Amino acid sequence: MDNLQIDEIRAKAIKKKKTRAKIEFLYILPFILLVAVFSYFPLFGWIYAFFDYKPPAPLKMENFVGFKWFITMFENEVKVKQIVQVIINTFAMSGLSLLFSWFPMIFAVFLNEIKFNPFKKFVQTVTTLPNFISWVLVYSIAFSVLNNTGVVNSVLQNLGIIDAPIDFLKSTEHIYFKQWLWLTWKNAGWASIMYIAAITGIDEELNEAARIDGASRMQIIWNITIPSILPTYFVLVMLNLANFLTNGMEQFFVFQNSFNKEKIQVLDLYVYNLKSAGGYSLSTAISILKTLISVTLLGLTNKFSKLIRGEGFI
């Protein structure tokens, strides 16, 4: 085969590779457009942070105030105290979620050990379904069970344990832990699915070899199962670190009331409440700072991942 034929084969291979790359790009193009429309196009709204905006009036240059709203966050003592409390709430909620981030992994490990398939499917279904229930319905369940005339108070009073009903939903005692319990009840089953998928990818020959060597079920779990799914766990923890300031709003919005609002108001809910009260410009300024901090955290966690694991997720 002469050099001309080799060059022709090489040119055809390159052309085929480029054609395939174009087709693959067309596959992902709709998803890129969706991200652009719903994630990047709304960033135009950041402009409101630099204006003294009052809806529904249009933006005008005479209302341009520059960095006024960014400075206001740190000049106004009342605002500073509010933001500090909101940051404490946000860190407490995110910190608890991060501290117990191993729970879905352990749940998946022990769920995988159930050998009676009908019972296994029942447990998996029951624990996954709450993820598809809206937080409004979750609060309805909480209200029915924990309000002054709810099931818990009724049982405790009938047994003579308490004389007066306890305001569970109004109390701020252990409020962070109670909100974490509701979040775990709702999301634990769904979060465990990724770990179950990782467990199914473990080479069964490793387990068989361990059994032949006389290893118990707990020894197989400790020495084979958990080490095999730890990479998945670390990736999810890194992503949670990058989203440390994002707790979501729906849960805390439905559970907030005038008694617990100070302790339950996380950053996303604070921004929403500000905007509802007409503080469009200030809430947008806070959102910008939150985004910048989140992007910084993402970069730091990615760098940390490269140092620890030898590879990042970006």
Tokens encoding 310: 């030898």
Residue 314: inside a domain: no
pLDDT at 33: 93
pTM score, whole prediction = 0.81
Residues 58, 7: one domain?
A: no
Residues 255, 136: one domain?
A: yes
Residues 209, 191: one domain?
A: yes
pLDDT at 170: 86
Residues 255, 171: one domain?
A: yes
pLDDT at 314: 65
Residues 159, 223: one domain?
A: yes
CATH code at 96? Answer: 1.10.3720.10
pLDDT at 99: 92
Residues 90, 197: one domain?
A: yes
pLDDT at 90: 93
Please give the Cα distance from 314 to 311 (Å, whole number): 9
pLDDT along the chain (314 residues), means of 10: 67 82 89 90 88 82 86 83 91 92 92 89 91 92 88 89 86 90 91 90 86 87 90 86 84 90 90 83 89 86 78 67
The structural domain count of the chain equals: 2
Domain extent for 18:
1-48
Residues 44, 57: one domain?
A: no
Residue 297: inside a domain: yes
pLDDT at 4: 65
pLDDT at 1: 54
